[in-house]
Structure formats: C-alpha cells, structure tokens
C-alpha cells in the first residue's frame, strides 16, 4: 500500500518539497497539503491536483509528515498535531534551529523524527539536503525520506550535532553565492558594462564554474590556480581579495551562520 504523505505549510519551501514528492513517484492520491492562506491552498490544489486538509486531519492519516512551517510557528503546530501522529509514522522537520528532541517531545514514542536542512536551489532540482535521524528512526524510514528528496537535489546523512555547520555551509550558502554575484555585477558595471551584460556574464560564469567544479576530480584550489597566471589579471584580483581578507571573511560568515543556528536550537 502506498505511503500517505502530508505537508503542513505550503509556502515556497513547502511547494518545493511537494514538487519533489510528486517527482519521486508518489501520486496525487497519496499526498495532501495544509495551508492557512486559502488563496494559496487553492492555487496549489489547482496546480498539482493534491487535496487540501486541516492540520489535524492531515497529520492523523500521514505515514510521512513534513512540517514545513517557520521556526517561530513550530511549537504551536506541534502542540496541535503531535497528539494525533501515529507511532510507526515519520515526521520530518526542515525548520532551522528546531532540534530532534523538541519534535520527539511533542509526539508519541515510536514516531520516527528526522531533522532536515534544505536550501533554495531545490526550487530548480539542485538542492542540498542534510538529514539527521532521531532515536526511533530506522534505516527504512531514513531511506524513504532520502528518496523523497533526491529528485530535488543531493542528500547527505549526518549526526544532528553537525546540523549547525551544515546550515552555515549549504543552508545559508546560496545567499553567499548571490552576494558574490551582486558584487561581480556591480564590478562589471563599474568597469563600463551595462547591467544586463554584466548580469549575463556573471551568471554564466558562476553556473559554468560550479559545473566544472562538480565534474572535476580536482579541488577548487587547483582549479583556481589553473586560471591564475603569475602577474596576470586573475592574480591581480585574487591579490586584492587576499589584501582585503575576503577568504577570512567568508570563513567567519559560515561560522557566524552556524553559531546563530546553534543559538536558535537552544
């Protein structure tokens, strides 16, 4: 019998996970969503053909329950749906800073809890997901969660103690790339390009570089050195970055994001 899947919260990430679930082979008959904004619920029902239920009804019938709500709303949602989640089912939470223990405390013993950290490139099927399993989650349940997400990107499984570091690298990471893109576009405009041309050059350079890095057996340091001729144009740029502490700033930013994730988990 097909597993019943419920997604509570149908914002941007909720829709992303809904699309991933359907891409993984689940039919619309086995998937329901909940959404407090009526117009948004109607939009997704018409777009995907899934049913819209109330939170408690959805949670009570789910074999796999995805809680895709804001961290500040999680306590209220868990208080509402926790008592009706069936032992043997799986609850997956991608909310930043919400620990496995916090979710386990709100559900019955025997409910498998999985903490998941996604990122926004999942919107274009290039996401990065980090999964951590709770005490009642077995290998079969963890693999089922992995399969749900793999159609929208890559999945790593790691101990929960590393979730904060993962958040600092991949959870917040897309913003770092977008920040770099902003700067490259601004630099191109300052050098005399029109903004559209600078944007095209920047985006394709980032996309192409990412694909090269992903396909190469060599690491980023080697690839960087290959395009950095002594006393050349790239060397001038890298020297400027080093003088201004760009690499150290990025490392510090990753650590700051990880630290903030840890603070939110307390």
Residue 266: per-residue pLDDT: 66
Q: Which domains does the chain have, with CATH numbers?
A: 5-163 (3.40.50.720), 171-265 (1.10.3730.10)
Residue 123: per-residue pLDDT: 86
Q: What does the alpha-carbon distance between residue 96 and residue 166 come to, in Å, rounded to a whole number?
A: 11
Residue 110: per-residue pLDDT: 95
**Is-above-0.85 flag for pTM?**
yes
Name the residue among 189, 156, 137, 144 with its Cα closest to residue 26.
144
Residue 58: per-residue pLDDT: 96
CA angle 73, 165, 263 (to 5 degrees): 45
Q: Distance from CA of residue 121 to its chain's centroid? A: 7
Residue 252: per-residue pLDDT: 98
Residue 16: per-residue pLDDT: 84
Mean pLDDT by 10 residues, the chain (266 residues): 88 88 89 93 94 95 93 92 96 88 94 94 92 95 92 94 95 97 98 98 98 97 96 97 97 96 80
Name the residue among 90, 97, 94, 91 with its Cα closest to residue 127.
94
Torsional class of 231: left (φ above 0), alpha (ψ -120 to 50), beta (otherwise) = left
Residues β-bridged to residue 65: 6, 91
Residue 1: per-residue pLDDT: 62
Residue 10: per-residue pLDDT: 87
Residue 2: per-residue pLDDT: 75
Torsional class of 105: left (φ above 0), alpha (ψ -120 to 50), beta (otherwise) = alpha
């Amino acid at each position: 019998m097909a597993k019943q899947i419920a997604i509570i919260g149908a914002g941007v990430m909720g829709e992303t996970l809904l699309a991933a679930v359907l891409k993984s082979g689940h039919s619309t008959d086995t998937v329901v969503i909940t959404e407090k904004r009526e117009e948004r619920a109607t939009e997704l029902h018409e777009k995907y053909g899934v049913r819209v239920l109330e939170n408690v009804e959805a949670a009570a019938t789910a074999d796999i329950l995805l809680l895709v709500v804001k961290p500040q709303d999680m306590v209220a949602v868990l208080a509402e749906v926790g008592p009706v989640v069936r032992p043997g089912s799986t609850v997956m939470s991608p909310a930043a800073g919400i620990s496995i223990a916090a979710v386990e405390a709100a559900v019955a013993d025997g409910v498998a809890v999985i903490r998941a950290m996604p990122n926004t490139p999942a919107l274009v099927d290039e996401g990065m997901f980090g999964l951590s399993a709770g005490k009642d989650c077995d290998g079969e349940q963890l693999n089922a969660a992995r399969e749900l997400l793999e159609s929208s990107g890559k999945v790593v499984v790691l101990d929960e103690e590393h979730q904060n570091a993962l958040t600092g690298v991949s959870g917040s990471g897309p913003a770092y790339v977008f920040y770099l893109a902003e700067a490259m576009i601004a630099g191109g405009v300052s050098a005399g390009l029109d903004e559209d041309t600078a944007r095209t050059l920047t985006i394709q350079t980032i996309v192409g570089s990412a694909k090269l890095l992903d396909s190469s057996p060599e690491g980023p340091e080697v690839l960087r050195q290959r395009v950095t001729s002594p006393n050349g144009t790239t060397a001038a740029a890298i020297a400027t970055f080093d003088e201004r502490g760009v690499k150290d700033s990025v490392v510090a930013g990753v650590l700051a994001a990880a630290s903030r994730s840890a603070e939110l988990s307390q």
